[in-house]
Every structure is written in C-alpha cells, then in structure tokens.
Amino acid sequence: MRSAPSYDNADLRRLDVAHHLPPQQDWALQESSGGSRIIVRGEGSTIWDAEGNEILDAMAGLWCTQIGYGRRELADIAHEQMVQLPFYNSFFRTAAPPTIALAARIADLLGGSLSHVFFNNSGSEAVDTLVRTARYYWQAKGEPQRSVIIGRKNGYHGSTIGGVSMGGMVSMHNQGGPWVPDHEHVMQPYSFEEQREDEDEDAFSARAAQAIENKLIEVGPERVAMIFGEPVQGAGGVIIPPRGYWKRVEEIARKYGVLLGCDEVICGYGRIGEWFGFQHFDIQPDLVSMAKGLSSGYLPISATAMADHVVETIRAAHAPFVHGYTYSGHPTAAAVALANIDIIEREGLVMRTKSDTGPYLAQALQTLSDHPLVGEVRSIGLLGAIEITSEKGTSQRFGAKPGLAGALIRDACIERGLMLRAVKDTLVMSPPLIITHEEIDRIMLIARDALDACEPALREAGVV
C-alpha cells in the first residue's frame, strides 16, 4: 500500500546528502555528518528516530505541534475532506466550507475588530500578506508615501524575501540581498544582553519602546505604515519583553496613527497562555499573522487577520487586491486546522498552559538557575529559555564567537533523548501544550546532565 520506497536508515542518510537540501542549515555539515537524523514516528510529546532512539520533543516540532503527535482524529478529517473535495481555489469567487468555517472560528478567537482572515500556507507568506496589506491599505487611504515598517533587530518573520526584509536577523541580511526597501529595525527588548546596570525593568522597557518612537520621528511619521513585532521573539531566543513594553508600543502606534501588527506565528494558539500573545499583553493590533499552532503542523496553513477598518478601507477602493496563493484557504488544511482548534478547546490546553503547565515549567526552570553555566532562565507560558554564560552574573559567553556552548549543550541534550534548540548560546524550548509535569521534570534532568557533561570542555575552551 505504501507509495514511498522502504529505504533503511543508512539509505536515507546517504540519499539525504546526495539529494535533499535542508532548510536553515550548513550543507557542508550535513555532508560531513553523514546526513540528517531520520525521524520516523511521533506520539504525544515524543518522537523516535530510525535507530530506535526515543526523544522527548521539547521543541514541539518547530514551535508548532500544540496537540502533540499521533492524533488520528486529524488524519480522519483530512481523509474525509480529501475524498469529498481535496482542493479547490478561492480565486474564482468560490470557497469551500472548511475555509469559511475556519475564518469565522479564527475571528472568534481573536475577538475585537479582528474579524477578517486571509489564508496562506506558511508563516513567511502570512507575513508577506500582512506587509502587502499594510502598504496597500495606506495607498487605498490616499497616503501612498506610508511605506516604512518598523520592526526590531533580531526579530524573525520568515525566509521569503519579504520575511527576511521585515525581520531583523543580521545573519540573513548578510546573505542574498538587496532586500525590500523601507524596513527599519530598532533595538530588541532583550534584557539579558541589553539592560544596563543602572536600569531597572521599567527604565529598560521605556528605553526599548522609546527606540521605536525615535525611529518613527527620524523617518518622519507621515512615512510610516506600521510598527510590527512578535509579542515574544521566538527564533531570536525567546525574548520576553519587559513589563509595560507592548502597552507603550501600542500607545506610540496610536499617537502617530500608524498600524500595529503582531506576528503570532509562534505565540498564537495558546503558546503563552492565551489564544494569542497580544491578548496576554493586552494590546489591540490591526493586523496579525499566524501559522504553526493553527494546524499544530499537521498540514501547512497560515493566516493573516485584519481589523474591520483595514478591510473597509480596502473594500472602499472597489478594486481587486491582486494578491493570493493557489492554496490560500486549502480545504483539507482548513478542515485539519478546525479539528486542531477543536482539540485545543476540548482539552483546555490554553488554560492549562496559563495556570498549570506554564507555571510548572517556570518553577522547573528555576531549579537550573544554580548551575554554574546558567546565566538566566526565563519563560512565559510554554516558551522557555536558558542562557549559557562563562561567568555567572554576566552575559559573557564561551569561545571566540557566540554559539559554541549552545551547540555543544544542545547536542548533548539530543544524545540524552531531549530535543531542544540552541539560538547561539541560548537554549530554547517550546514543548507541546499537552506536555505533562513528569515530562517537564525530565527536560530539566536531562538538561542538567548535559550542562554538567559539557562544563569541563567549555571551561577548557574558555573565553577568547
């Protein structure tokens, strides 16, 4: 019955090197390491590789499998929808029932005036749609000079040309530019690295928000279309903004009459204890991008939500918005996303993250804070980070350039059956929302063991 040939592990690793180019990776390392680890199965919060190793997936795939692996219900829904109508487009004034039902469901979760949803396939595309919408909105309003978008350094908004331009990742900007003009980036609210000794949390928060206002004034407020950011920066290293930051940023957006956009690709769908990150920070964006947890990664789908006033302005232009993807609102992906949201709701995973597993993770992380390599632990909901430092009480790192300790400890975790990610020297985690206390305890035990095991080599490498 299987259409894929049944290769063994060695075949797959060989073919991986020969033919498959993995995303966001060093292809030379892929080759020298003999190919990718082959992941063959998942159940709950656990994955298995082709060698039979069991790995606790504290990254939820890639910040996305909120409901965990192995949910037959989603496979059954996909099967039913594929038999009924696998695909039809939404270009020809046509749409399939799951697509419309999903749009209505998302609008309901978002609340407020965010009642319209445009579908895409990936987070990057959701961001591209959001940028095009913001700029087109201002054109439709008769202010076409408003093209500047202000984001943050080290923000991540995807890998398309639009996503890279909008994001603030220097490593990405250094490859393959030039980028889309009129994207500005200001300091990130990353207290571990950027808070000054003479600043308390409030002063740091005010300075980080002020950087946005300063940039707005520098560019000229009449040229600014939008302020945009992740409520909590994920790929940048789980950077949790200081208290008051987002409220202040929202005030700045309102003061100058510019749009406010939130990239909820990671924070959305319960990750930080509310359906969306902006709800946690009690702000009201005009545009919202989302992906990942929307379908728990079971099928690719993303969405861009828009406030009523944005849609009304675009409707008033009485012209087609010449933007969209073949698979915008893909019926099968939409049906699966609906079933995923059903499960998140039925199992109370958002509330559980807020009042049970989130606080439990925070406490569990604290148990690592006495470790000599740990400079800081932090978390919000089920997003957590461990900062590795060579000298406690500072943000000093090991090695000649950042990343040595992070990669070493991450690999030691994986060897011990725990999947974590390293963002330079910050270990980050984002477990499925179904994670149990026992599994959270296991994350900490393995992490501590990996820290202990790596410490001698790191002390030897020292600070260069």
User: Residues in the site for ligand PMP, rule: CB under 6 A?
Assistant: 122-124, 127, 156-158, 230, 234-235, 263, 265-266, 291
Contacts of 314 (CB under 8 A, 6+ apart): 133, 136, 137, 140, 321
In the complex, least distance from residue 66 CB atom to ligand PMP, rounded to whole angstroms: 14
User: 190 or 360, CB closer to ligand PMP?
Assistant: 190
Contact present, 423 and 236 (Cβ < 8 Å): yes
Q: How far apart are CA 71 and CA 339, in angstroms?
A: 10
Pairing of strands 116-120, 302-306: antiparallel
**Per-residue tokens: 136:** 């087109």
Choose between 67 and 164: whose C-beta lies nearer to ligand PMP: 164
Residue 374 backbone phi and psi in degrees, to 5: -95, 120
Q: Which is nearer to ligand PMP, 157 or 207 (CB)?
A: 157
Q: Where are the alpha helices (DSSP H) in 230-357?
A: 245-256, 277-280, 308-316, 331-346, 349-352
Name the residue nearer to ligand PMP (CB basis): 266 or 409: 266
- Name every residue whose Cβ is closer than 8 Å to that of residue 42 and which is 6 or more positions away in sequence: 48, 57, 65, 68, 69, 70
Identity of the residue, 122 or 328, whose beta carbon is nearer to ligand PMP in the bound complex: 122
Distances in Å between the Cα of 391 and the Cα atoms of 95, 374, 379 are 58, 9, 21
Comparing CB distances to ligand PMP, the nearer of 62 and 101 is: 62
Shortest distance in whole angstroms from residue 172 CB to ligand PMP: 12
Q: Which is nearer to ligand PMP, 152 or 397 (CB)?
A: 152
User: Which residues fall within 8 angstroms of residue 146, CB to CB, at 6 or more apart?
Assistant: 135, 138, 222, 223, 224, 225, 258
Q: How far is the CB of 227 from ligand PMP (least distance, A)?
A: 15
- Tokens describing residue 330: 């893909």
Q: Is the peptide bond before 331 cis (omega within 30 degrees of 0)?
A: no
For residues 127 and 133, give the distance between their C-alpha atoms in angstroms, rounded to a whole number. Answer: 10
Give how far Cα 98 sits from Cα of 78, 88, 290, 314, 329, Å.
11, 11, 18, 25, 8
Nearer to ligand PMP by C-beta: 35 or 229? 229
